[in-house]
Chain A
């Protein structure tokens, strides 16, 4: 025979001040848990969503990423003419030789950070269909013009539309603002390859981004580049290249686990405290229930359920408290490239469920011992009290 849930809800209501305080405590813990998950998820999805199918990034063999890769200009011509690369309408291969330089630039708040500047050749924009112009136009060659991502534009000094910033030896004009749909490109400045190579006095390439005809063609190009000892380059699928950078979130993940574990332990003790208090002050009531014929098992499950109800209420509260942060833009250092990566807090349905699950665990761990204690109360003793 089960004790109706109404009894438990009623009991929580009788002790509403204590219940609300305990639930609020659990709620805050859950909201921190959700926020940390949303940070990790937001940062990871920035990388996960970057890249197109059948596209390859070519960098120097041994280099870990574009920032520490460089190779001679002739190699670009060799790679660009490999069979299997898609052609555009004018029969030009869809391959963009690019140079990456990093500038140290002040944020709106004053402190400086590193930003990646990408100089690209003709096909650069065609192989990045995710980027859309929001304002102005794309850059033109030889004029020291740049386009800046919307997120950078909002975060750094002198990066609004039609502003001018000083980089290397020249003044560069912001002629356009683009949005790359929340991908890693949303943390970059784009301009023409020759302009960067001249201004920084670096007649080299950092990477080539190319589009292959098919998956098979892409694999063939990867093999061909790996086998050619003379060119000393490596080709990686563009998706894999960015996936490997999700390692940047390890720090946040570790921090989040540490915080959630300790706050979780604290909440368990708090819930246990509250439930013990509640059980002890209800011993007569429990004795009566037992006298009415409810089994020890019913009492145990009933009290456990009460604790879980309390913590789930806290969990829901926690979800509601964390939700306003969804979509908020923030940034951290991408340790792979040592430059700023901008991303959004992303709270998904799964993350909310994880939060509720976390709350349930707190409820079960916190309510377990008090519920067992309640089920052990003897009828005679409790009636005598």
Chain B
């Protein structure tokens, strides 16, 4: 206990140095926490028990190829399919091309069965189902544009020659995309397309987890020899397919994080080296009055770890505080829905802090603790 007090007094001895080192570490670990969290969220799309049961069917060649709406009834009859709905990316422009967000026209008949994780009051659901030109939007999207139920939303078609005039009938929470999309009726879209009768993908909900791989195989087998063959995969695999398009993001982010951590080690090592150099005589005195090398080493390492862990805590808790109070979808144009710094990420950060502390003070602390007391006392600082 006394040692801990001594450690704390040592940390507080040169307050300016402590503050500067901790601030430097905090800024860097703020960055590391943010980058790692974003990377983690990219690689692990939100998984709920519902989303694990969902599959996505698309054209085998690519997402750009449409598939006939006639497949809907055929997929419904496949064994193990609980519900299914067609979903077509609309990609229209709302007021200005920079207001980008996801828009889908969907078959509404089984829509809410496929997405039971999309939470919405029953009366809003009904109002949406009844209104052919109705639409629903996620809460983060609605907040971004300050939409209220009843809002008129005019989209201008970019991919399609059709300009839907929609009325917002409901605002949902959660859902497969954390409330970031807009959905409207496929029938309305199809009318605008002169009844061309196609959709982009089908979202399927399997009855049980065991049914998931079977449904995928059966659906694809059904259309294997047709002019429009399909590819069915789990919702997670489908989302990860998008992420892989971003390219070497993982490599970029992990290498930046390692460089940042390395710089913190340099900063912390510099601080500890300065602090130990000034204290050679003092350490000699400690040893002369009976402290063991092990205790001295512990004292110095503890001081270094204390510094870097405080920096890590300030940085990562600061990131948590800042990101939970920012309207990220509005700031990033819908690219980031949220940056949720989890307790796991906080502990990883503290772990990095401990590691940095040990690496930074390791060699000088070891040397100082091994130096014979007489030798240390002889040195003039």
Contacts and interface: CB of A to CB of B under 8 A. Distances in A.
B274 interface: yes
Interface string B261-292: 01110110111011000000000000000000
Contact of A25 (B21, B30, B267): B267
A266 B247 contact: no
Interface stretch (A46-54, A79-87, A107-115): A107-115
B16 interface: yes
A108 B23 CA distance: 43
A170 B271 CA distance: 66
Interface in B14-35: 16-17, 20-21, 23-25, 27-28, 30-31, 34-35
A111 B244 contact: yes
Interface residues of B, number: 48
Nearest to B244: A111
A63 interface: yes
Nearest to B267: A270
B263 A29 contact: yes
Contacts of A338: 64, 245
Interface stretch (A209-217, A295-303, A326-334): A326-334
B245 A251 contact: no
B318 to A, nearest CB: 11
B125 to A, nearest CB: 32
Interface string A21-45: 1101100110110000000000000
Contacts of A258: 31, 34
A208 to B, nearest CB: 18
Nearest to A334: B245
Contact of A251 (B24, B61, B260, B335): B335
Given A29-B263, A269-B23, A276-B16, A331 B156 contact: no
A18 B273 contact: yes
Contacts of B241: 104, 111-112
Contacts of B35: 259
Contacts of B270: 18, 21-22, 25, 270, 273-274
A265 interface: yes
A279 B248 CA distance: 44
Given A254-B332, A266-B28, A333 B61 contact: no
Interface string B34-56: 11000000000000000000000
Contact of A28 (B16, B246, B263): B263
Among B34, B62, B227, B260, find the residue whose CB has the most chain A CB atoms closer than 10 A: B62
Interface string A158-200: 0000000001100000000000000000000000000000001
B259 A201 contact: no
A64 B158 contact: yes
Nearest to B253: A255
Contacts of A201: 227
Contact of B247 (A67, A167, A331): A331
B263 A266 contact: yes
Nearest to A252: B252
B246 A262 contact: no
A266 B27 contact: yes
B372 interface: no
B257 to A, nearest CB: 10
B61 A276 contact: no
A272 B161 contact: no
B269 A263 contact: no
Contact of A330 (B16, B17, B97, B247): B247
B363 to A, nearest CB: 11
A68 B91 contact: yes
Interface residues of A, number: 50
Contacts of B351: none
Given A68-B158, A273-B21, A102 B245 contact: no
B157 interface: yes
B266 A21 contact: yes
Contacts of B24: 265-267, 269-270, 273
B70 interface: no
Contact of B267 (A112, A259, A273): A273
Interface string A331-367: 1110000101000000000000000000000000000
B159 interface: yes
A200 B65 CA distance: 9
A277 interface: yes
A62 interface: yes
Nearest to A343: B247
A17 interface: yes
B63 interface: yes
A265 B159 CA distance: 44
Contacts of B20: 269-270, 272-273, 276
B184 to A, nearest CB: 19
Contact of B274 (A18, A104, A332): A18
A134 interface: no
A333 B335 CA distance: 13
A60 interface: yes
A380 interface: no
A103 interface: yes
B27 A262 contact: yes
B357 to A, nearest CB: 16
Given A17-B273, A114-B245, A265-B27, A25 B158 contact: no
B245 to A, nearest CB: 4
B4 interface: no
Nearest to B22: A269
A263 B260 contact: yes
A101 interface: yes
B67 to A, nearest CB: 13
Contacts of A102: 62-64
A41 to B, nearest CB: 16
Top 8 A-B residue pairs of the complex, sorted by shortest distance between their CB atoms: A269-B24, A111-B244, A68-B159, A273-B20, A262-B31, A266-B27, A104-B62, A270-B267
Interface of B: 16-17, 20-21, 23-25, 27-28, 30-31, 34-35, 61-65, 91, 93, 97, 156-159, 161, 227, 241, 244-248, 256, 259-260, 262-264, 266-267, 269-271, 273-274, 332, 335
Interface of A: 17-18, 21-22, 24-25, 28-29, 31-32, 60, 62-64, 67-68, 101-104, 111-114, 167-168, 200-201, 251, 254, 258-259, 262-263, 265-267, 269-270, 272-274, 276-277, 330-333, 338, 340
10 contacts: A25-B263, A62-B156, A113-B247, A168-B61, A266-B24, A266-B28, A270-B267, A277-B17, A331-B247, A333-B247
Given A18-B270, A21-B270, 4 more contacts: A104-B61, A113-B247, A262-B31, A276-B16
